[in-house]
Amino acid sequence: MKLAILALKNLTRNRLRSLLTILGVAAGMFLYASVQTMQHSLSVATESSAADTTLVVYRENRFCPSTSRLPEHYLSTIERIPGVRQVIPIQIAVNNCGASLDVITFRGVPPETLKSYNPGIKVIDGSYDDFVNQTDGALVGQHLAERRGLSPGDKFEAVGVNVTVAGIISSDAPQDENVAYVHLPFLQQASRIGLGIVTQFNVKVERADQLQPVADQIDQTFKADQQPTNTRPEKAFFAETAKQMIELIGFTRWLGLGAVFAVLGLVANAVLLIVRGRVKETAIFQTLGFSRLAIGLMVVIEGILLGLVGGLIGVIGAMAFFHFKSFTLGNEGLTLALTPSTTVTLTGLGVAVALGLLASLYPAWKATSRPLVQSLNS
């Protein structure tokens, strides 16, 4: 503790240098935390868990909602397949099928089924009844509403579809917070797809171990139809359909790594400069009886403090940025909400501290390895 206080006081000596180093670390850690947020959001959306029980039935060999067309009457056939608990037909209309940061997605669903199919949805403003009773009513995800400045009663238009906001929703599924749920028949007509045609069916099965057998059974059932299907678990569907987006996010991993090395170099350089500027003082401390370990620890603590303070600013800044900007990556009609997470925050701070520690090891060794008499005479 005493050494930590001394180290902290030492950092205030050259305030400009410390401030610039901290800002550099903050910038690097902001980039690192941003990349990690994308990676984390992607893994939440694509990595399967034992609790997953949802299948997506899509048109075979189609990857965009505008080309995946399935007859709505498949619904009753799918419902009869053993293991199926509930099915919802969905018509999807998007303003951009390619990769985009501002994708608007309409999901047309039977309004009376939505609540029972997706109980995680909560209306936080407006009312669910208004949505059910209003043909052009829309339940808008809160991130989309924030992005577009929407509130209940507002009208908005996208993809040539005009809707009235009936309610703002939050959901335990981040993707739901970036879409607008509308009536299925309304969307079928408004998007000129035509009644009776849907983009996909989302199917809930009784147990996770039934995902594959039920998927196989669905595809087998429609194999000979004019519109054959390809059924996959929801997360696998996301991973396969949004390949471009995933590759892009995968690439950002290298940016994160670059940021880590930049922070490492920056802190190491700053601590090395600190140590070089205090050769004689370090010798004085040793003359007073401070051990090499104690002096090395003081140097390491300075490095850790630089990393920690910079990391706090950078990581918290990144989390605030994602919280307030509500970014959503869209690809092939699928949306990936970039949401701040506690895991990324804690990992980011841990990495910042570890980098500060790592970067100061060599300077700490350098500070204590020189013969004492030589340092005193420097």
Partner 1 sequence: MKPLISIKSVTKTFTKGKTTITPLENLSLDVPRGEFLSLMGPSGSGKTTLLNLIAGIDSPTSGEILIDGNDISKLSRAQLTKWRSVHVGYIFQLYHLVPILSAYENVELPLLLGNKNKAERRKTILAALDLVGLSDRAEHRPSELSGGQEQRVAIARAIVHDPDLLVADEPTGDLDRESADSILDLLNRLATDHGKTIVMVTHDPKASAAAHRALQLEKGRFAKEGHLLTPA
What's the longest Cα–Cα distance across the chain?
91
CB of 274 to partner 1, least distance (A): 13
- In 3-state terms, what secondary structure has residue 52? coil
| Length, in residues, of the chain | 378
2 near partner 1, judged by CB under 8 A: yes
Site string for partner 1, 258-287 (x = CB under 8 A): ----------------------xx--xxxx
Distance CA 376, CA 179 (A): 68
Among residues 362, 340, 358, the alpha carbon closest in space to that of 350 is found at 358
Sole binder of partner 1 in the list 48, 136, 291, 304 (CB under 8 A): 291
Distance CA 37, CA 126 (A): 31
Range in contact with partner 1 (rule: CB under 8 A) among 8-16, 27-35, 84-92, 218-226: 8-16
Sole binder of partner 1 in the list 61, 289, 324, 342 (CB under 8 A): 289
Distance CA 303, CA 361 (A): 9
CB of 104 to partner 1, least distance (A): 57
Distance CA 309, CA 143 (A): 30
Q: What would the 3-class secondary structure string for 192-241 be? A: CCCCCEECEEEEEECCHHHHHHHHHHHHHHCCCCCCCEEEEEHHHHHHHH
129 near partner 1, judged by CB under 8 A: no
Which DSSP string do the residues of 124-152 spell out, in sequence order?
EEE-HHHHHH-TTEEEEEHHHHHHHT--T
CB of 272 to partner 1, least distance (A): 20
Residues 358-377 that bind partner 1 (CB under 8 A): 372-373, 376
325 near partner 1, judged by CB under 8 A: no
238 near partner 1, judged by CB under 8 A: no
Residues 32-51 that bind partner 1 (CB under 8 A): none
H or E element: which one contains 89?
strand 84-94
CB of 21 to partner 1, least distance (A): 17
322 near partner 1, judged by CB under 8 A: no
CB of 361 to partner 1, least distance (A): 19
9 near partner 1, judged by CB under 8 A: yes
The site for partner 1 (CB under 8 A) is made up of 2-3, 6, 9-10, 12-13, 280-281, 284-292, 294, 372-373, 376
